[in-house]
Amino acid sequence: GMPMPANAIFRIASQSKAVTSVAVMMLHEEGKFLLDDPIAKYIPEFASSRVAVPAADRGAKGYATVPLKRPITIRDLLTHTAGISYGDGPAREEYVAANIRGWKLADQKVPLADVIRRLAGLPFDAQPGEKYVYGYNTDILGRLVEVASGLSLDEFVAKRIAGPLGMTDTHFFLPESKLDRFTPVYGVDDKGGLKLMEAAAENDYVKGPRMCFSGGAGLLSTAEDYARFLLMLARGGELDGVRLLGPKSVELMTADHAGALYGSQGFGLGFWILDRLGRNGLPGSVGAFGWGGAYHTTYWVDPAEKLVAVLMTQLMPAGSSDLHGKFR
């Protein structure tokens, strides 16, 4: 029943992926790596990664593991075609045992480097380049940012992206002074009503270990902060005299890289891409791009219409909510 302030702070979950993808492209422009470099060149543990496949004898695990047919590249990770899920594949029990399953890493009591090192030793779901598999790809990229920049991911985002763009309320963990603006999470109950799922003061973003910075789903932000980030992309990498990326990098990010692997639309380096009107029945323009988050947030950029759209809420589970379609 309380009014929501315009500067309310939200868990943006997978909307973090766009920020981390921009960080990767900034370092790419600086010549720190090439997009088709093997990730193992920078995180050596991925050199010996394996893929789970159904076992012929259907043994105790029900699967065997085979080596990678080719190395996982940075571009595979940006397009979610590396074969790496959130731990829901054939080797699910191994992910559970390793305490790496699901998108949320805010409760991890070790740095991101340790989580990614453990992840590299778990069986993946598919061979690189053969399937679109949504998962820890952008968290691995977050670790790449750390290795290539010499900064922790939170330092890189604060110093190189949020600070320059004036995104003053974008953080991985909530500063204590901002608790009064942090949103609770609601869910839809069995009767279609709202149920409090997570209080603003009782959660890992406030009381957690504050050790693991998840590039895939860890950021908090406001509607205005995130809109500023999207305006930067809509303007070809620059906003208010601050340039984070060159126009060609933004063009590359917002082109389709996944082809038929993604399905109802294209997929670029961090977002869905509307590559052909009528493919999925949604209104928009060719060249539009966007994504969303687990708490029922969503966004898109339509350069042809000079439109940036950001919808912030905190609803998980969202039930049969049609809010996104109606907002669009």
pLDDT tens by residue, 145-158: 999 999 999 999 99
Cα torsion angle, 3, 223, 256, 47, sign: negative
Q: What average pLDDT does this structure show over 171-178? A: 98
pLDDT tens by residue, 256-293: 999 999 988 999 999 999 999 998 888 999 999 999 99
**Quick one: pLDDT at residue 245?**
98
pLDDT tens by residue, 109-136: 999 999 999 999 999 999 999 999 999 9
Rounded-to-integer distance, Cα 35 and Cα 163, Å? 26
Amino acid at 155: E
**Residue 102, number of CB atoms within 10 A of its CB:** 14
Structural tokens at position 176: 């204590």
186 φ/ψ angles, rounded to the nearest 5 degrees: -110, 160
**Quick one: pLDDT at residue 145?**
98
Start-to-end C-alpha separation, the chain: 26
